[in-house]
Chain A
Amino acid sequence: MSGAALSVAGARKAFGGLIAVNDVSFDIGQGELVGLIGPNGSGKTTMLNLISGALRPSAGRISLAGIDISGKPAHAIARLGVARTFQLVRVLPSMSAIDNVIAGAAFGHMRLWGSEARQMAEALLERVGLGGRAAAPTASMTYIDQKRLELARALAGEPRLLLLDEWLAGLNPSELRLGIDLVRDLRAEGRTIVMVEHVMDAIRSLCDRCIVMSSGAKIADGAVAEVLSRREVVSAYLGDDDA
């Protein structure tokens, strides 16, 4: 499919005898916000790592708007316009907030530098709710602020595909509402987003479509409400007896 923003065909990742991602295929359309869900250890983050280039697929083909990216190094994939956040938030602790954001803009496909990068970074900090804190040290930021900062860094590269790895996890209820609103805004801008998430409320309220993984395989793909009520999805989460 050449019209898809992201196309994954037969992706597989084995760590020795353990097959973390087993022959997974799906397409993500331009401007789609897709949830990637599944029980712990089902291979969601590994799938994301294959797309971002953190891991090299053992087999299969992953392409971004028709360009084959499978097996390319992470920096090459980032330069093609894939940005991500990390499950365990990763800010650059010795650098100021604004430098954290500029880091996302300076080396991607935009390659912004100097005052241009600074202006963009300031606008993004404002946008994620960190306005006026450009010079703030990042190591002492609260968890939600570090997550905001990480999102701003990912957005700074003007990504064609944004990968959010449990970006909403660990937030308290009011923070979660803010976080969901922020992601909804991104979607309204027409960005293509894949989000790995455990917070089902977020999946229900944000995504039009979700893909469910279990033990490394894709077990369902479709509209959220319909998929979540399928028997195999429920049993993957709760076990057969409760289904």
Chain B
Amino acid sequence: MSAVSAGEIRVGLAGAVVVALAACLPLVDQGFYLSISVNIVLYAALCTAWTLFSGPTHYVSLATAAFFGVGTYSVALWIDQLPFPALVAGGALAGAALAGVVGVATLRLSGVYFVIFTLGLAELVRQIVTWAQAKFTTRVGLYVFTDFTEKHIYWMLLALAVAVFLAGWLINRSRLGFAMRIIGNDETVARHVGIDTARAKILLFMVSGAFIAIAGAISAPRYGYIQPPSAFNPMISFLVVIMALLGGTSRLWGPLVGVVPFVIAMDLISARFPNHMPIVMGLAFLAIVYLLPHGVTGRLEQVWTRLRNRRALAVGAERTA
């Protein structure tokens, strides 16, 4: 809570080595491996940002596409007028603002109502953008021309993923993170020890929304041509939920465990059976919910505690024998 423990330093160093190695990838390969790695770091950032909020609160948000699209459009609308970093910052602010408004309106809703609202939100924003474009610009899409190549986008997304992890780690150590753990345990107790539960949830939703919007902003040059259906693609929302749940949401690095194999598997499947993606995704969703309700990391933890208990029992038996 205050000092950084030796274990945390070790994890941090190991993480730094992994990131440094990952950052060298474009020097080795600029083709298939780079392109799949862009997807991996993109979804690592998205899923971890999603879990910042949805992990402790257990609110399943399907608004990822809305924040992502807002970020994408922040870049696409003004790419000819403003420098790229300013647009990314603007996208983050827009994402946070949208999350704040949505939070105020919906976080009093619970469970399934929140899920439906967030799903509808992405669609609503998409329709508004489509309408506004048709009304004021007479174009449907926007071109984003930059000097960025795949490797620049890769490095930016990697930096974003690192930033999301650092933010998550700092939040977990902070009062806000502690408050979220209490809320996740028992919201009545949380209120009675003095936590403004609505404010804490909205703050965290805003942080999460801002990071997702940044991911969208960075991805804009990769698309080149931005249209509402691709920027606000609901598939993004569902993929993020599936991957995060596959990895497990109770640990900061949980989603990462889901993202890496899922993105690779998705790439293989979409190459061989391009028309069967929705079926595969549906099956994956069912399999995760039925077989791994707490994700891979949750299952690993279960196995670990069982092994430890067994060992403790064995030691106890030896002592008594």
Contacts and interface: CB of A to CB of B under 8 A. Distances in A.
Given A75-B197, A103-B178, A114 B189 contact: no
Interface in B151-197: 175, 178-179, 181-182, 184-186, 188-197
A54 B186 contact: no
B6 interface: no
B2 interface: yes
B188 A157 contact: no
Interface stretch (A60-68, A86-94, A184-192, A200-208): A86-94
A103 B193 contact: yes
Contacts of B175: 106-107, 113
A93 B185 contact: yes
A95 interface: yes
Nearest to B184: A94
Interface residues of A, number: 31
B283 to A, nearest CB: 31
Contacts of A153: 189, 193
B1 interface: yes
A79 B196 CA distance: 10
Contacts of B185: 92-95
Nearest to B174: A113
A52 B191 CA distance: 10
A83 B175 CA distance: 19
B1 A103 contact: no
Contacts of A107: 175, 179, 193-195
Interface string A75-112: 11011000110100010111100010011101111000
A81 to B, nearest CB: 9
B191 A92 contact: no
Contacts of B193: 78, 83, 103-104, 106-108, 153, 157
A102 B195 CA distance: 13
Interface in A157-208: 157
Interface string B189-225: 1111111110000000000000000000000000000
A10 interface: no
Contacts of A94: 181, 184-185
B192 A83 contact: yes
A90 B191 contact: no
A157 B189 contact: no
A74 interface: yes
A106 B177 CA distance: 12
Nearest to A102: B178
Given A92-B186, A93-B185, A52 B192 contact: yes
A140 interface: no
A173 B178 CA distance: 37
B189 A78 contact: no
B188 A54 contact: yes
A78 B192 contact: yes
B136 to A, nearest CB: 43
A115 interface: yes
Contacts of B1: 113-114, 118
27 contacts: A52-B192, A53-B191, A73-B196, A75-B190, A75-B192, A75-B194, A75-B195, A75-B197, A78-B193, A83-B193, A90-B186, A90-B189, A92-B182, A92-B186, A92-B189, A94-B181, A95-B185, A99-B178, A102-B178, A106-B175, A106-B178, A107-B195, A109-B194, A114-B1, A153-B189, A157-B193, A157-B194
Interface of B: 1-2, 175, 178-179, 181-182, 184-186, 188-197
